[in-house]
Amino acid sequence: MRAAGDTLGFVATMGALHEGHVSLVRLAKQNTTRCIASLFVNPKQFAAHEDLSAYPRDEAGDVAKLEAAGCDLVFAPKPNEMYADDFATAISVGGVSNDLEGLSRPHFFGGVATVVAKLFLQVQPDMAVFGEKDYQQLLVIRKLVRDMAFPITIIPGPTIREMDGLAMSSRNAYLSAPERATASAMPRALRTAISALEHRAPIKATLARVEADLTQAGFARVDYVALREAETLAPVAGDTLTGAARILAAALIGRTRLIDNMAVG
Ligand code: AMP
């Protein structure tokens, strides 16, 4: 493709694809002449107690969705092709990795950075699209690319949502019907908070209200509800909103952990 003068766009995924992933492929095709997608459930970003073996897999279905979206090539390596038995390298992005998701899942961003760095070198794309659904991950990848001078432009893809506002996620497949109904409280609570914050409601009380709303709706545990600077995820100074920010949350319904985030201001 490169020899033919094509520009290459890349979308990294763990498969079990939904409309969110497909939107990233379409975005890639708007910016480059070819799109490559990877399907790889990356063992390095799961802790021992997490859902690696249960993670949904449907390679044939995924390939069909990618083809329909205009993807030109699928890279679906086996775990031992990515990580030989004597694989010994780890990429660690500091700063933005060490908070929020990094506190709840200490192994996570190291695993993501290691696999994405390797995928970038294997695919050598001109451009890569990452979803805002995983907002902190998007910032970690941006930092990785800047720090290591990967010659790749990172483009953010907006979060694609279900009709009731729930952010699409491969993990939504774990939810029972009642849990799925509970899940819509997450985007609802975030939207309510955004409206309050944009009307100068106090930040601390507004975030506490989101946590209470989630608990009342039936979430089993709230890992965090946070308001952060949009570009750095640094804490927002002051008692009320003064500039552009991001609200981010992570909470469990039963044993399923959901994350979401939205722009504020
Ligand atoms: P995953 O397969 O969950 O690792 O996600 C692969 C890519 O798709 C990441 O860049 C995600 O941020 C992105 N993604 C996941 N869900 C969505 C969504 N609902 N809307 C947009 N992008 C998403």
Nearest to 18 by CA among 184, 168, 176: 168
Atom nearest to 21 CA in ligand 1: 8
Two structure tokens written together for 258: 């959901």
Is there an atom of ligand 1 within 6 Å of 14 CB?
Answer: yes
Strand partners, 225: 249
Section 60-88 average pLDDT: 98
Nearest to 17 by CA among 171, 162, 181, 187: 171
- The pLDDT, as a whole number, for residue 71 is 98
Is there an atom of ligand 1 within 6 Å of 167 CB?
Answer: yes
- For 208-250, write each residue's pLDDT tens digit: 999 999 999 999 999 999 999 999 999 999 999 999 999 999 9
Two structure tokens written together for 146: 């800047």
Which member of 18, 21, 49, 107 is catalytic? 21
pTM strictly above 0.85: yes
Mean pLDDT, the chain, rounded, equals: 97
Number of Cβ within a 10 Å radius of residue 75: 15
Apex 252 CA angle, 11 and 215, nearest 5: 135
- The pLDDT, as a whole number, for residue 227 is 98
- Residues in the chain, overall count: 265
Number of Cβ within a 10 Å radius of residue 164: 12
81 band by pLDDT with thresholds 50, 70 and 90: very high
Section 36-56 average pLDDT: 96
- For 153-207, write each residue's pLDDT tens digit: 999 999 999 999 999 999 999 999 999 999 999 999 999 999 999 999 999 999 9
- The pLDDT, as a whole number, for residue 37 is 98
Atom nearest to 169 CA in ligand 1: 16
Percent of the chain with pLDDT over 90: 100
Q: Is 124 exposed, middle or buried (0-12, 13-18, 19+ CB in 10 A)?
A: middle
Two structure tokens written together for 253: 């319904």
Nearest to 142 by CA among 165, 113, 166, 162: 113
69 band by pLDDT with thresholds 50, 70 and 90: very high
Atom nearest to 15 CA in ligand 1: 2
Note if 199 is an active site residue.
no
- The pLDDT, as a whole number, for residue 201 is 98
Select from 57, 58, 134 the residue to mutate for testing ligand 1; criterion: most ligand atoms less than 8 Å from CB: 134
Is there an atom of ligand 1 within 6 Å of 125 CB?
Answer: no
Section 86-114 average pLDDT: 97
- Nearest residue (by CA) to ligand 1, atom 7, is 13
Is there an atom of ligand 1 within 6 Å of 179 CB?
Answer: no
The residue whose two tokens read 């003064």 is: 242
Q: What's the number of CA atoms in the CB half-sphere (13 Å) around residue 53?
A: 2
- The pLDDT, as a whole number, for residue 4 is 97
38 band by pLDDT with thresholds 50, 70 and 90: very high
- For 122-156, write each residue's pLDDT tens digit: 999 999 999 999 999 999 999 999 999 999 999 99
C-alpha 222: how far from chain center: 18
The residue whose two tokens read 């997490």 is: 50
